[in-house]
Amino acid sequence: MAVARHQILLSAFALMLAGAGPTTSEQAPPDLEAFARKVREVIRAEYAEPVRFNYIEEGRDVDISMFGKLSEGPLETYEVRQEPPGDAWRRLVARDGKPLAAAELARRDADHRKQIERLRAESPRQRATREKKEAEELRERDEILNDAERVFAFSYVGRDTIDGQAVVVADLKPRQDARVTTPEGQRMKRFAGRVWVAAADHYIARVRLHATDSVSVGWGVVARVERGSGFDFLRKKVAGSWVASQLTIEGSGNTLLFRSFHIKTVTTYSNHEPYKPDEP
């Protein structure tokens, strides 16, 4: 039951989609509803046509067994490379700061090349099956985003700066009576937090969320996280685009057998370089 970082990121972006609430300061944007609408538009645009970067990802995977045993993996370093038609290759290059042995790296690279070759050689039927699955995933993502818009309202807090950029700070609060269509939407009702939005371009610079009640996590009935568990997701501006900088996940809970656990993981993203399609 490893913690899936990419799933946490998806949830983080979904939870950023907030409707406007009452202002609490004269420094608030003059039209908070219009501001919120632009934030939602920017998030959807990012999902539809993300700006792609190559970068370095470094973090640990945490696994919790159904018996409550927590095991933390080594610090892993990945070269994340963008590849057409839009996939990212997480190329493991080091563990605990030590580069992979040349033989293991060569084997992994060869396996990746074989996967690419199989994809290029897929039959029309296989391609249709893959595209159908991808379309279904996009539909599910859009439903989650729609639920986030229904669930979350934000109220103005103040202004700040992140990575040298002026940001608007708002609290996120769930609407308990919101009608949702996805399991993720139901879980959103048990989260609250704070979001930092770039004042100039309405991109998300930071989002911090915590559970307001115990919540079943992606492992279904096997584990529940306790109130206060959550994450802090930071972004920075690189080459005119906001990119992931750091994700901290921390929480406590118990498993099906009521064995308690506590986790804290920090994943960093660095060395961002804009992807150029003509790169080898």
pLDDT, tens only, 129-138: 988 988 898 8
The string of pLDDT tens digits covering residues 239-270 is: 989 999 999 999 888 876 667 888 889 999 99
Residue 124 has pLDDT above 80, yes or no: yes
DSSP H stretches of helix in 152-202: 183-188
pLDDT digit string (tens) for 174-200? 999 999 999 888 888 999 999 999 999
Check residues 221 and 267 and name the one with the higher pLDDT.
267
| Per-residue pLDDT at 257 | 66
Six token digits for residue 278:
């003509």
Write out pLDDT tens, residues 83-98. 865 678 999 999 999 9
At 23 the pLDDT is 40
**Predicted pLDDT of residue 222:** 57
Partnered with residue 268 across adjacent β-strands are 58, 246
Which stretch, 121-135, 166-180, 217-231, 247-261, has highest mean pLDDT?
166-180
